Copies of this chain bind each other. A is one copy, B any other.
Amino acid sequence: MLREIFENVRERRPVIHSITNYVTANDCANILNACGASPIMADSKEEAADITANSNGLYLNIGTINDSTLEAMIIAGKKANELGHPIVFDPVGIGASEYRMKAAEEILREVKCTVIRGNISEIRKLASGKGTVTSVDADNSDRLTADNLEDVINSAKSLSTKSGAVVAITGTIDIAADSKKAYLIRNGNPMMTTVAGTGCQTSALVTAFVASNPDSTLEATAGAMSAMGIAGEMARDRLRCVDGNVTYGKYIIDAIYNLTPDILESGTRYEFR
């Protein structure tokens, strides 16, 4: 089934309006190109609605948010809602400041998001207001284990019920859940956490997949997460001992470029809960 999901991305070549942080914007643009989508980054409130109207999907990421880009996100989000375009929201580092938490809450109040994608600490914070997150990385105390897996799945489902969005959590096991059903995806490699912005890139990829599969949001989200994980595996296989996190990051995007629907279909490892 993931085969068709990815074929749709390659065929439809969706234009993705991205309002995202400047730290990883280049990698997000390149991973969108790599999967067959076409990126346009534009964070000015004066043009946010126009750009969204000319795109097929909207990606919102608060990694370096400020009052001006927050306003642009809400304008773009409302236009996307009006036009029925899917929106993927990435609450980068929401635990790290009260401002970021409030911005995330405002976005979720004003804009109906299609998917919310974060690491386990970010999603927990968003779901409950609790949890320790002081950086853009998942906190050790939030580590996914056999013991807390059920809890995490339930909090993903409950955030999905509350928000109406598919909830996507990346980590040692990736989770994509709506209110009833959860995909558990076992692709990827631990070294992915050493590359700045693999989370942002996953969210960008989810936007392209969801925009190309309007009737299969949950499956498209799971497909994008699995694609990213498989790319992480393919890239790991290429590394030589002198390579480090930056070469690894570049190889991940290269792998998305070379990924085919067949490789995705045969390489994915998921189960339902």
**Residue positions of A touching B, CB distance < 8 A:** 15, 21-27, 29-30, 33-34, 38-47, 50-51, 54-55, 63-68, 93, 96-100, 134-137, 194-197, 234, 238, 241-247, 249-251, 253-258
Contact = CB atoms under 8 A, between A and B. Distances in A.
Contacts of A238: 242
A44 B103 CA distance: 12
A33 B96 contact: no
Contacts of A23: 22, 25-26, 29, 41
A41 B29 contact: no
Contacts of A50: 96-99
Contact of A97 (B33, B47, B242): B47
A203 to B, nearest CB: 16
B21 A41 contact: yes
Given A54-B96, A245-B34, A254-B245, A42 B24 contact: no
A96 B43 CA distance: 13
A41 B21 CA distance: 9
Contact of A40 (B15, B22, B96, B195): B96
A27 B26 contact: yes
A37 B33 CA distance: 29
B44 A196 contact: no
B96 A196 contact: no
